[in-house]
Copies of this chain bind each other. A is one copy, B any other.
Amino acid sequence: MPDLTGDSGGTSDEVRAVAARAREAATNLAVATRAAKDAALAAMADRLLTDGPQILAANAEDVSSAEGSGTGAHLVDRLRLDQERLAGMAQGLRDVAGLPDPVGEVVRGATLANGLELRQVRVPFGVVGIIYEARPNVTADAAGICLKSGNAVLLRGSSSAAASNAAIVDALRRGLADAGLPEDAVQLVPGRGHEAAKALMRARGLVDVLVPRGGAGLIRSVVEESTVPVIETGVGNCHVYVDAAADLDMALRIVLNAKTQRTSVCNAAESLLVHEAVAGEFLPMVVPALQEAGVLVHGDERFAALAGVQPATDDDWAAEYLALEMSAAVVPSLEAALDHIRRYSSHHTDAIVTGSQAAARRFVAEVDSAAVVVNASTRFTDGGEFGFGAEIGISTQKLHARGPMGLPEMTSTKYVVTGDGHIR
């Protein structure tokens, strides 16, 4: 979790000064060619590798402080870098270089009745702020995606990764300089305290958009405090609904995959709904299979009648466990499933398993989530799986971008109107 408390420096003036330099750099980046940006991404990748020893040394400091302060092994693992992870970060930058440049894409265009030519063209936002959690590889990923989409980026990572992030950003800035692009296109937000985070969130006019990546508490805090427009990402209380007309073997495979293939991610399933017409057959299939995979089931009365199932509380229906736990209920109808999802879903990804075209069609029409899935795992809601090649996060809001955000989602547009003296 990013550190939004504490008092260690980063005054509002310092943050605004950094943001103003980012804006200068953004003016330059907005007109940089794809070739120039791709060359910079390659140079940044090179620097990550040549500066590897310094980065790993800085990371060792962070890891040792984290261990010293009793951080759990799982979080320490997320923090730790090695040669392989460093190579992965460099490859990530090269992969982004290989993607099409969204800037300059003509989204729509027409010649109006009066002869005016109208084009709507993709342009960068300008300055993007990213507030994120412990993993230092996000530092390079986010910088690469922002650079390719023509945006300067202000990075605010977790204080637990401060030394790693500083070393990575140093390397990335050297790469920018090698390629002749402004170093200030990639900067860390100075200071680790709440004042610095708040200054970033209030830097309206200097920062064009903020993307918080982290837990629900962080995102709520950014949404509450920010006057800069925010794109919310990633809280996922995802459902799998097994319909009366489901192929139960398929349903079993999908539930197990959605819950257990990777538990710490926002597109993992957290809640299972089963139509009562198939409950008698499906519950004895799915509960032991989940338990065998190590999943603790928090069930309603019907589920809790099975051995090892814990009775669910109201909190369970809304819980994003991000762990080997799952809430589970029997519903009397498709309508009841839709009502349950409407009430408890975080509107990230919800899936139906059904052989009924009518049920699938109704579920797709009525479930108001970023992704609605028919007969597949919730785990597919992902920029890589969707073929976007790079992803800055998964938006769970409705404004601007919804679902996995690739390079085009990191841009705005402008209208270009061309005439030969047209007046009204």
**B residues in contact with A423, CB < 8 Å:** 253-254, 256-258, 261, 376-377, 379
Q: Does A250 contact B (CB under 8 A)?
A: yes
Residue of B nearest to A226 (CB): B227
Main secondary structure of the interface of A (DSSP, over half): mixed
B372 near A398 with CB under 8 A, answer: no
A414 near B126 with CB under 8 A, answer: no
Which range contains the number of A residues in contact with the other chain? 35 or more
Binding-face segment, A56-64, A134-142, A380-388: A380-388
**B residues in contact with A400, CB < 8 Å:** 399-400
Per-residue contact bits, chain A 406-424, to B (CB 8 Å; 1 contact, 0 not): 0000001111111111111
**B residues in contact with A113, CB < 8 Å:** 387
A253–B421 Cα gap in the complex (Å)?
8
A254–B385 Cα gap in the complex (Å)?
50
A250 touches which of B258, B421, B424 (Cβ 8 Å): B421
Copies in the complex: 2
B421 near A386 with CB under 8 A, answer: no
A126 touches which of B110, B254, B368 (Cβ 8 Å): B368
A231 touches which of B126, B366, B399 (Cβ 8 Å): B399
A424 near B371 with CB under 8 A, answer: no
A377 near B31 with CB under 8 A, answer: no
A20 to chain B: closest CB distance in Å?
12
Residue of B nearest to A423 (CB): B257
A223 touches which of B204, B247, B386, B424 (Cβ 8 Å): B204
A421–B231 Cα gap in the complex (Å)?
32
Q: Does A85 contact B (CB under 8 A)?
A: no
A414–B348 Cα gap in the complex (Å)?
10
Q: Indicate the member of A27, A256, A399 with the most B CB atoms within 10 Å.
A: A399
